[in-house]
């Protein structure tokens, strides 16, 4: 009898049961278990909380959000860099069933407007300014009514659900509610009222919306439940062996799953200390935080680890306390992994693979995996999840063959916010999330990513879809047509190249286009290279050949 090939399907371990609780319940459990343990260290704000102090701050702000009239299912946007207020907003909103909407701090006017409208946020928490972004000025340009109406009683035709904006600035312009006044509002709501709201919630309810760049040209809001992200953070922490004695440095942004799920929730479910070294990643400040705080774990995307390894003063930092961490967000070069293990003392560092829509991690290496497996694969299927690789017809391919990676289980999102068509396109009738990534699975179940959605560019851990950028460039008066491709880059993994055709009689140069981008889109979406052409490479049937564009761009950039 002919031996049948083994299908590319695996199920993760069932030994670790899922947590059957809301995020608020999990937070309260840890705070009661380790009241005096150090919970959160925010170095750039010079703030330290033990679990009891953090619980009091979260509860007070949860009561304040109730005082603002927020109901279960309402949306609270957060548009700010890493800080204590971000954490408090995440857990205060979860405690009362309000859905947190993560807004990238690099977003500019058009992106902010889209997200606020699509999610129909009732309230927004924002920083005053960050890097080159003046958040107050942008919001006043979008919502001039803020200065004309009572705080908390906004009536705005452009954002008809939005009631007000909370500013983290100590002295915001008129019309903004200062964060410092929230604590006062919280005293007007009793602890019993908070407990009653919390008791009415269940873990399958939505608690978070994270926007991912869409192939349709507009970001889609991946809607995640308590059950999705609490358990994913827990399983990541379990793989790392986190305990209440561990101290994790989190230099990755909280608006991504990497920071708020794998970081915050991974620590909350294990009583592990969270350490924020700075508002945004800085290699020197991150290394200093590891040294000063005697951290045992560190997160980052490959570009972050490269920057830390290449820091001119790295030899002066004592990293001997480190044992583990996660490198994720992009393919990890083998030489970088070797250096992280040998030069940063991270002998148990792991690779994690996933996507926002799967909360995010679905596949992860283990602490005992050989180095070769930790750099050539993304690991094996996480506990309580399933993975399979399929061909174009939906059939499961044999081990060793290439197929599209699909994930099923507790981590798969509820769907895209108010976008049923996109949801049904991504999640099939059997509950499988189609990742768009091409992979191979070996006999032991280790998965190797060999390609991905043909268009997506990953630059420094940020996912960028060319279609979104192309539609953006079409709004420039000189641009007649545009195609966006990604090319390899030693520092960021990939860089963006824009191929542009101008309208007759119009022109622009690289600097003009980059300057135009600067105030309109996030900095990481601005192309580094531009190529001005009369025609694009095409097939005889008129289809654009992006692979040829990529080849030409690589050759030309190598010659520069």
Q: What is the pLDDT of residue 288?
A: 98
Query: Residue 128: pLDDT above 50?
Result: yes
From the CB of residue 36, how many other CB atoms can be counted at a distance below 10 Å?
A: 9
Q: What is the pLDDT of residue 440?
A: 92
Query: Residue 273: pLDDT above 80?
Result: yes
Mean pLDDT on 429-439 = 93
111-121 pLDDT per residue, tens:
999 999 999 99
Q: What is the pLDDT of residue 98?
A: 98
Q: What is the pLDDT of residue 216?
A: 47
Q: Which tokens in the block code for residue 423?
A: 């949801």
15-41 pLDDT per residue, tens:
999 999 999 999 999 999 999 999 999
Q: Which runs of consecutive H residues, i.e. helices, occur in 247-366?
A: 257, 266-268, 283-293, 302-309, 334-343
How confident is the prediction for the chain on average, in pLDDT? 93
Q: What is the CATH number of the domain that holds 66?
A: 3.40.50.12780
Total number of domains constituting the chain: 2
Stretch among 152-156, 288-292, 474-478 having the lowest mean pLDDT: 474-478
Q: Is there a domain that residue 184 lies in?
A: yes
What range does the domain containing 101 cover? 23-37+47-221
Q: What is the CATH number of the domain that holds 512?
A: 3.30.300.30
Q: What is the pLDDT of residue 338?
A: 86
Query: Residue 271: pLDDT above 90?
Result: yes
Q: Is there a domain that residue 305 lies in?
A: no
497-546 pLDDT per residue, tens:
999 989 889 999 999 999 999 889 999 999 999 999 998 887 544 557 88
Q: What is the pLDDT of residue 371?
A: 86
Query: Residue 142: pLDDT above 50?
Result: yes
Here the contacts of 128-131 (C-beta below 8 Å, separation 24 or greater) are 128/167, 128/168, 128/169, 128/172, 129/169, 130/80, 130/81, 130/105, 130/279, 130/280, 131/105, 131/106, 131/280
Per-residue CA distances from 9 to 372, 389, 397 (Å): 22, 7, 9
Q: What is the pLDDT of residue 464?
A: 83
Mean pLDDT on 200-208 = 98
- Domain boundary among the residues 168, 196, 221 is at 221
* Plot region of 70 (φ>0 → left; ψ -120 to 50 → alpha; else → beta): beta
Q: Is there a domain that residue 164 lies in?
A: yes
Q: Is there a domain that residue 122 lies in?
A: yes
Q: Is there a domain that residue 445 lies in?
A: no
Confidence bin at 452 (pLDDT 50/70/90): low
Q: What is the pLDDT of residue 471?
A: 76
Query: Residue 368: pLDDT above 90?
Result: no
Confidence bin at 67 (pLDDT 50/70/90): very high
Q: Is there a domain that residue 306 lies in?
A: no
Q: Is there a domain that residue 394 lies in?
A: no
Task: Tally the C-alpha atoms within 13 A of residue 359's C-alpha that lie toward its C-beta.
Answer: 31
Q: Which tokens in the block code for residue 8?
A: 């590319």
Query: Residue 2: pLDDT above 60?
Result: no
Query: Residue 433: pLDDT above 60?
Result: yes
Q: What is the pLDDT of residue 1?
A: 43
Stretch among 199-208, 330-339, 340-349, 357-366 having the lowest mean pLDDT: 330-339
d(CA 293, CA 290): 6
Confidence bin at 215 (pLDDT 50/70/90): very low
Percent of the chain with pLDDT over 90: 81
125: enclosing H helix or E strand: strand 123-126
- Domain boundary among the residues 221, 243, 258 is at 221
Question: Which comes out higher in pLDDT, residue 217 or 366?
Answer: 366
Q: Is there a domain that residue 288 lies in?
A: no
Cis peptide before 537 (omega within 30 of 0): no
- Domain boundary among the residues 206, 221, 236 is at 221
DSSP secondary-structure letter at 332? P
pTM, full prediction: 0.86
């Amino acid at each position: 009898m002919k031996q049948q090939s083994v299908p590319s399907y695996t199920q993760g371990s069932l030994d670790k049961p899922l947590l059957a609780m809301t995020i608020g319940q999990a937070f309260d459990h840890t705070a009661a278990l380790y009241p005096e343990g150090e919970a959160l260290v925010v170095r750039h704000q010079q703030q330290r909380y033990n679990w009891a102090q953090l619980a009091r701050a979260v509860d007070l702000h949860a009561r304040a959000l109730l005082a603002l009239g927020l109901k279960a299912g309402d949306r609270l946007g957060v548009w700010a860099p890493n800080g204590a207020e971000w954490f408090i907003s995440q857990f205060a909103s979860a405690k009362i069933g309000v859905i947190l909407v993560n807004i990238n701090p690099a977003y500019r006017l058009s992106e902010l407007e889209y997200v606020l409208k699509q999610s129909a946020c009732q309230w927004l928490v924002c920083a005053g300014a960050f890097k080159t972004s003046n958040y107050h000025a942008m919001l006043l340009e979008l919502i001039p009514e803020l200065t004309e109406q009572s705080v908390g009683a906004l009536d705005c035709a452009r954002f008809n659900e939005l009631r007000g904006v909370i500013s983290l600035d100590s002295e915001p312009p008129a019309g903004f509610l200062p964060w410092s006044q929230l604590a006062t509002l919280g005293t007007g709501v009793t602890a019993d009222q908070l407990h009653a709201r919390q008791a009415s919630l269940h873990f399958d309810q939505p608690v978070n919306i994270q926007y991912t760049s869409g192939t349709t040209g507009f970001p889609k809001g991946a809607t995640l439940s308590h059950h999705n992200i609490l358990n994913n953070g827990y399983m990541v922490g379990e793989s790392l062996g986190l305990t209440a004695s561990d101290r994790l440095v989190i230099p990755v942004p909280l608006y991504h799953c990497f920071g708020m799920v794998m970081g915050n929730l991974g620590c909350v479910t294990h009583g592990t200390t969270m350490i924020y070294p700075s508002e945004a990643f800085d290699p020197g400040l991150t290394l200093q935080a590891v040294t000063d705080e005697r951290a045992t774990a560190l997160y980052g995307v490959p570009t972050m680890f490269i920057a830390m390894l290449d820091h001119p003063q790295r030899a002066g930092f004592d990293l001997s306390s480190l044992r583990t961490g996660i490198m994720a967000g992009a393919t990890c070069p083998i030489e970088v992994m070797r250096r992280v293990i040998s030069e940063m003392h991270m002998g148990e560092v792991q690779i994690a693979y996933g996507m926002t829509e799967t909360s995010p991690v679905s596949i992860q290496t283990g602490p005992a995996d050989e180095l070769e497996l930790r750099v050539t694969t993304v690991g094996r299927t996480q506990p309580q999840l399933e993975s399979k690789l399929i061909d174009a017809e939906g059939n499961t391919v044999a081990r060793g063959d290439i197929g599209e990676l699909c994930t099923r289980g507790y981590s798969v999102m509820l769907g895209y916010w108010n976008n049923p068509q996109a949801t049904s396109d991504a999640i099939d009738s059997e509950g499988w999330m189609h990742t768009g990534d091409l992979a191979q699975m070996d006999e032991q179940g280790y998965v190797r990513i060999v390609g991905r959605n043909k268009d997506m560019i990953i630059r420094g851990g940020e996912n960028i879809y060319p279609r979104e950028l192309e539609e953006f460039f079409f709004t420039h008066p000189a641009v007649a047509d545009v195609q966006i491709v990604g090319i390899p880059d030693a520092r960021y993994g990939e860089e963006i190249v824009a191929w542009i055709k101008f309208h007759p009689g119009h022109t622009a140069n690289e600097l003009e286009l980059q300057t135009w981008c600067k105030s309109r889109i996030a900095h990481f979406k601005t192309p580094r290279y531009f190529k001005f052409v009369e025609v694009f490479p095409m097939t005889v049937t008129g289809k654009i050949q992006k692979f040829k564009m990529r080849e030409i761009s690589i050759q030309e950039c190598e010659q520069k």
